[in-house]
């Protein structure tokens, strides 16, 4: 381990483990390259500054449904910067939620935020709303006005 990285060993629940594997799958598909939990965290860490934007009740519900502690051991090596930013997020979230949080809890919320973002992007894409947003709400080419009783054409 170099001075520029930190090693963590977490004993996590099965639900937390599934959250990590789903996050890695989504990130790998997003980048079209195989990812690791470490690479995902290091690439998403700047988003840690906004994870406390979630509703407090939603975050509490997440931590209840996806408990951190469990019997599955994971080893993680991340950059010192990532570890520091997760620690900062943990402190902010603990204040927001009015409870003590572990490093694993903050990591769980960071992964939750990523999965929510990716799932929302998928829904928007499926509905074609991402294309409309990219085109500043102009109809996309596949939107036929023919046979549309509400069209002015």
Q: How many structural domains are present in the chain? A: 1
How does pLDDT run across 84-128, given as a tens digit for each residue?
999 999 999 999 999 999 999 999 999 999 999 898 888 888 887
Average pLDDT, stretch 70-94?
Answer: 95
For residue 61, being part of any structural domain is answered with yes
Q: Which residues contact 70 (CB under 8 A, 6 or more apart)?
A: 11, 12, 13, 14, 15, 16, 17
Record the pTM: 0.78
For residue 140, being part of any structural domain is answered with no
For residue 148, being part of any structural domain is answered with no
Q: Which domain holds residue 16?
A: 5-134
For residue 41, being part of any structural domain is answered with yes
Q: How confident is the model at residue 51 (pLDDT cuts 50, 70, 90)?
A: confident
For residue 153, being part of any structural domain is answered with no
Q: Compute the mean pLDDT over every residue in the chain, rounded to the nearest whole number.
A: 85
For residue 143, being part of any structural domain is answered with no
Burial group, residue 22, by CB count within 10 angstroms (0-12, 13-18, 19+): middle
- Calpha distance 57→68 (Å, rounded): 17
How does pLDDT run across 134-148, given as a tens digit for each residue?
554 444 444 444 544
For residue 111, being part of any structural domain is answered with yes
For residue 11, being part of any structural domain is answered with yes
């Amino acid at each position: 381990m170099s001075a520029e990285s930190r090693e963590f060993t977490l004993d996590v629940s099965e639900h937390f483990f599934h959250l990590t594997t789903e996050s890695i799958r989504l990130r790998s598909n997003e980048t079209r390259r195989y990812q690791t939990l470490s690479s995902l965290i290091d690439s998403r860490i700047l988003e840690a500054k906004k994870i406390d934007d979630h509703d407090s009740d939603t975050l509490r519900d997440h931590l209840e449904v996806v408990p951190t502690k469990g019997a599955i051991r994971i080893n993680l090596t991340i950059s010192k910067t990532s570890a520091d930013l997760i620690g900062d997020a943990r402190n902010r979230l603990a204040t927001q939620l009015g409870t003590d949080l572990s490093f694993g809890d903050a990591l769980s919320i960071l992964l939750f935020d990523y999965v929510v973002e990716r799932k929302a992007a998928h829904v928007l894409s499926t509905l074609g709303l991402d294309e409309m947003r990219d085109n500043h709400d102009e109809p996309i080419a596949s939107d036929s006005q023919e046979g549309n009783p509400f069209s002015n054409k």
